[in-house]
Amino acid sequence: MTITGGHELLSTRLAAPGRVIHSSASAAKTAIHSGEAGPVLITFPRDCSALVTGQCGVITRRQAIGLGIDGAVIDNQLRLARWQRLYRGVYATFTGPPPREAWLTAALLRAGPGATLSYQTAAELCRLSDEHSAHIHITVPVESHPRAMPGVVIHRSRRVAAARHPALIPARTRVEETTLDLIEVAAGFNEAYGWLCLATGRRLTTASRLRSSVTLRNRMRWRGEILGALTEIADGVHSNLERRYVHDVERAHRLPTARRQARIPRGTRSQYLDNLYDAFDVAVELDGRAAHPPRETLGRHSQRQLLRQIRNRHAALQLGRHHQQGMLGGRRAQCGAAQARLAGCTAALQPLLRAQSPAH
């Protein structure tokens, strides 16, 4: 980077490789005002380079003028397509398609002080979601009223400053706040529970941190249910399917309380069982897309795995979502060894045995 007289040249290092920002080195003002389209060297204040770099190559008109760049220089850069207008008064200082980070930063700058990426967009950045959100979601202070922007959804909050992550750039809500925001707009409690499971299952946060964030909110949708769900997650109930088993099978039929995510040594490795009834030496595994093969790929592999587990220390009942709904098409003989051990659980475990019958 070239430095001249306390100023430095904005170079291609501020943009992705192959994108040109500025060039050339003579009579900048003459070239600008004459409208020449040839290469022109523009000298910028030293602070401008650091600012643009920290903003993913984006700068606002107000920032540029505040750093001593003449308005005519800005207009000429736009006219010659060396800069791009992303939103009104917000520019990308490079050519070529702006990357996702540049659009997010530009939306924040346009929204004004205190603006923070939130909801689905924050989930995308913290890996809580694997897809780009269809719209850019931004939360601003309640007293702020930014103008509408295409493709941007504005939310208002009195506690956006407390919800914002203190260090990450571009500014975004903490993962705990993001999770709770998504719960607020969830279509139902199953979706809400799914967000809790994703946040903890991907080790982005813990149940205790989420609980602390819930208590800081004056209003929280499904507050009681969320606090109860966090207790279950801390105990090892890590999916909606596992939660359904606990509520609709184990508790509904007064089964013993299983040990969740039980670690079982298997030679040099360890296996984790969804539900282990130690007193009866019985394990109940639940098939789900997050931790097990998809339903359509279970078939013979599932049967072999089940028999292998039965031959080892624990008898196993392997249940999927369709099993809990009474649509299992397996054969009772395949679980004969498991049934022999389950007999010691008294009548409380009969619902599990009946679920393995072709008649159901």
The predicted structure's pLDDT at residue 200: 95
Q: Is the pTM of this model over 0.95?
A: no
The predicted structure's pLDDT at residue 29: 39
> Which residue ranges of the chain lie beneath pLDDT 50?
1-41, 289-300, 303, 306-307, 310-311, 321-348, 351-353, 355-360
pLDDT per residue as tens digits for the range 41-62: 455 677 788 889 899 999 999 9
The predicted structure's pLDDT at residue 93: 92
The predicted structure's pLDDT at residue 328: 32
The predicted structure's pLDDT at residue 148: 92
The predicted structure's pLDDT at residue 50: 83
- List the chain domain ranges: 3-98, 101-173, 184-234, 240-355
Locate tokens 């269809």: which residue? 134
